[in-house]
Amino acid sequence: MSPAGRHLVLFSGGTGGARLARLLGRVAGPGDRLTVVANVGDDFEHLGMYISPDLDAVIYHLADVESRDLGWGLADETFRTLTELGELGGPTWFHIGDRDMATHLYRTWRMRAGAPLSTVARELAAARGVGEHVRVMTASDDPVRTVVETDAGAMPFQEYLVERQARDLVKGFQYAGASSAEPAPGVLAAIADADLLVFGPSNPYVSLQPILAVPGIRAAIARSGAPSIALSPIVGGQAIKGPLAAMLEALGQPVTGLHAVLALDVGIRGLVVDPADRDLVPDISAQGITPHVAPIIFSRPEAGETARSLWRRDWSA
């Protein structure tokens, strides 16, 4: 660790991880550096545009321009284009706002010109005003696509979640393309340089496992001398956001943050759970994981101190 500050690497999916990233960026001390490795398993092409929902969520939250009302997309959003598209008979199941569309158009234009996704991510973060002490990286520049196996058949993640409203019974997951993918430039170096590796309060199956499925990333985490900690994506038996609780139930797992994190299988040293789940402490300890109880609903002010502790606490103890 540099005497001037610490380097924290956050593995992030969408809203939960993005909210944590924003807080970490806000409370970082002098010399601290934050690297966010964003999931690309949710990415897909729609209406001719390349859409990267988790990456955009991270950038929008870090830049403090996300819609607080919607929980996704940009603030002060309008949907005139989507409305017109519907009147023409086009697909409107995936909601894209007029401001948000500019992001997708820019990314598609740059990628068709030959720029890799990781380069476009840096450009978008800079254009949105993300602080210089924060780096936003994609897990890979290669296509990695989460496929959800359900009782209605295997389907792309966005079809399962958005078009079909997560109503199908989940049986498992695939990460198409992951076996031949490579980590995006800088990801392995960031992991090797980290003082702390943090798995955000994100869905382990569809937000974090697609990152870990990219060859080289899991091995780099294992080689790293930095402790790995996770924040529970479950509070009081409910997912902070999304269908994780239903997924755990369908897979025969208890709906707890402990069982969600165990699914990652990355040698987590510490697990942060909300005070509502204090009763999990003995079970966490029994797994050889150090429990930490602190507020983890990052849309609430009291969670700010939790973010500060991620920077300052000695997690190797």
Tokens of 173: 């997951």
- Other Cβ atoms less than 10 A from the Cβ of 141: the count is 20
Strands (E), the chain: 7-12, 33-38, 44-46, 49-51, 134-138, 145-150, 153-156, 170-176, 196-199, 228-231, 234-235, 238-239, 270-273, 290-293
CB atoms within 10 A of CB 267: 12
> Is residue 1 a part of any domain in this protein?
no
Residue 265 within any structural domain of the chain = yes
Residue 272: per-residue pLDDT: 96
- CATH code of residue 251: 3.40.50.10680
In a domain, 109, yes or no: no
Lowest mean pLDDT among 12-16, 227-231, 272-276: 12-16
Q: Which residues contact 159 (CB under 8 A, 6 or more apart)?
A: none
298 pLDDT tier (thresholds 50, 70, 90): confident
Residues 6+ positions from 84 with CB-CB distance below 8 Å: none
Report how many domains make up the chain.
1
Q: Cα separations (Å) of 154 from 19, 25, 50?
A: 30, 38, 22
Number of residues that make up the chain: 317
Q: Kindly tell me the burial class for residue 245, based on how many C-beta atoms sit within 10 Å of its own C-beta (0-12, 13-18, 19 or more).
A: middle
Provide the CB-side half-sphere exposure for 254 (13 A, CA). Answer: 10
Does residue 285 have a pLDDT over 50?
Answer: yes
CB 157 within 8 A of CB 203: no
List pLDDT tens digits, range 303-317.
Answer: 889 999 999 988 876
Average pLDDT over residues 289-294: 95
User: What tens digit of pLDDT does each residue of 62-90 get?
Assistant: 999 998 888 788 999 999 999 999 999 99
Residue 76 in domain? no
Look at residue 74 and tell me if it is in a domain: no
Q: How far apart are CA 290 and CA 269, in angstroms?
A: 6
Listed range (2-6, 54-58, 71-75, 175-179) with the worst mean pLDDT: 2-6
What is the spatial distance between Cα 240 and Cα 104, in angstroms, rounded to a whole number? 27
- Specify the pLDDT at position 314: 87
Phi–psi pair at 238, nearest 5 degrees: -125, 145
Spatial CA neighbour of 52 closest among 140, 168, 131: 140
Whether 213 is covered by a domain: the verdict is yes
pLDDT for the residue 72: 82
Residue 85 falls within a domain, yes or no? Answer: no
Domain span at 33:
7-65+133-312
Average pLDDT over residues 234-240: 92
Mean pLDDT lowest for which of 169-173, 214-218, 240-244? Answer: 240-244
**Percent of the chain's residues with pLDDT above 70:** 98
In this structure, is residue 253 part of a structural domain? yes
pLDDT bucket at 2, cuts 50 / 70 / 90:
very low
* Sign, Cα dihedral of 100, 103, 105, 108: negative
Query: What mean pLDDT is predicted for residues 244-269?
Result: 94
